[in-house]
Structure 1
Amino acid sequence: MAKIHTHYDNLKVARGAPQEVVRAAYKALSQKYHPDKNQGDEKAARIMAIVNTAYNILSDPVRRREHDEWIAAEEWEVEWLESSGDEGHREGGTRVRGENWESPPPAPRPRRRLLRDPRWWLGLLGGMAVGAVCVLVLLQPRVLPAALAFSGKEQAAALTSIPNPDPDAWASPAGAKAPSVKTLAVTQLLVPPRQPECDTDLATPEAPNGEPWPEQSGYVPGYPLGNSGREMTVVVDNSANPTPVFVKIVDLERRSNVRHAYVLGNGTLTIDGLAAGKYEVRYQNVVGSAARSECANRTRRADAGF
């Protein structure tokens, strides 16, 4: 069967490798490709960014399980295409994307498998139910909560641009032409306080793309800005959390990241200029320099057997 390039390949470990092996492989590759040891080497910087991304995913149990599910879906698709004699439509039957250092993006699941998956039908029915609720909300002067957060290693909040109705629009005199109503959906995400965790938080001095973390709260350099518009604003309130957070806003319909931001500990950032749509906000604590030193000391003590 054709090979599928995964984050395990990027870290040069087996798929069932324990966390200790994953961490050791990351340390070895970091020492080899770190920008401080390869100044001016664009290839080393790109490899280091891919290694950072692979480690951030494989070191998190939730994100690693999602990656394993993606691998299983891809292998099922390749196996089905090869058994049906249609592998020629997938670049000669290979699933290796480019050279060995390649970050595997999530791919849509095969349509035939989706139609047989009862979860797909449940999701379809759930989407229809949510649409009906949204219609009822827009027909009445009420607003549903726009953000729901759940606890876990990877924190997330689902956002839907349900605009607030202008109360002045309902006070027009009888017979007068109703004024046009311009609305802006504003969603606030409250980040709870949490102590840094060396095994799951981002403990690198650079962002996953290899760029240094900003000195102030704002967008992380090097990432594109997508879904530009004027219909939605997201306020990330990290004032209760002493640790900085790395924030990603994901377009749920296109399954793509449209914003990457960095919010200082005990700080707040307003992310505006978003088009109307359905989004999910994912955030992860960023270990500061002092905490990074403590994490490094813990790792050294663990390696030494203390």
Structure 2
Amino acid sequence: MAKIHTHYDNLKVARGAPQEVVRAAYKALSQKYHPDKNQGDEKAARIMAIVNTAYNILSDPVRRKEHDEWIASEEWEVEWLESSGEDNPRPRGENWQAPSPARQRRRWLREPRWWLGMLGGVALGGACALLLVKQPRLLPSALAFTPKQETVPALTSVPGPDPDAWAMPSGAKTPPAPVKALAVTQLVVPARQPECDTDLTTPAAPNGEPWPEQSGYISGYPLGNSGREMTVVVDNSANPNPVFVKIHDLDRGSNVRHAYVLGSGMLTIDGLAAGKYEVRYQNVVGSALRAECKTKAARQADAGF
């Protein structure tokens, strides 16, 4: 820790030295640097002035106690500055004099760290108070204002209720009707020529029964994730081939709907709960092309492919 230069150092005595030792040290230094023995020596005169000031303070019990308190305060500050990584306090010269306790307090009040700490404490206390006090209408009250009343010409002369009135409180005690939202997902199937290798060429559906004659759900599969929040529209109007559709629940990793949509047709799959879904589909090869695919597969088998 950096050393604090004190009046004890000026008299070359220990801090706890009794008054007899302080008086003897003062006499010894006075005989050495007295102006009568050092006429014309400015350095000796300067040192003698410092010695006189030090003795006047240390010989007075009240002033010596204040000086001891100031030393303790300075040492604490130096230790704090060194532990926080800041620069050491300014060095003391030979003309240094200890400030009074009142001056020391004023110096602390001028410190930016003191004021920042006070402001931070007040801000933290205010934030805690706001969190502890339950005032659900605090934010609306703070943002509310009374606009200037002006006469605005009507935008339309058609009588009737406000079409957006359902979204705003009417001022009555009855709460507004709940707003219901329906998420709609649409799959538009592009037109594509059937492929024997990738499309479904079986004459029966996965449930073992023939493919349905109309668009709809395929029987035998359970209806999962029932609800009223989502609807999926499968638009197969641009595709001349029927498609087999699966609605896959991404959260559960399972299929919750199995449907069949005719070529150039459309099907709405409703009754789904809110969630994340993926629409998967395959083209279903018709009976005419199915025979061609069967013949093609037989030829490839005979050729050794």
Do Structure 1 and Structure 2 share a fold, with TM-score over 0.5?
no
TM score, norm. by length of structure 1:
0.43
- Bigger-Rg structure (1/2): 2
TM score, norm. by length of structure 2:
0.43
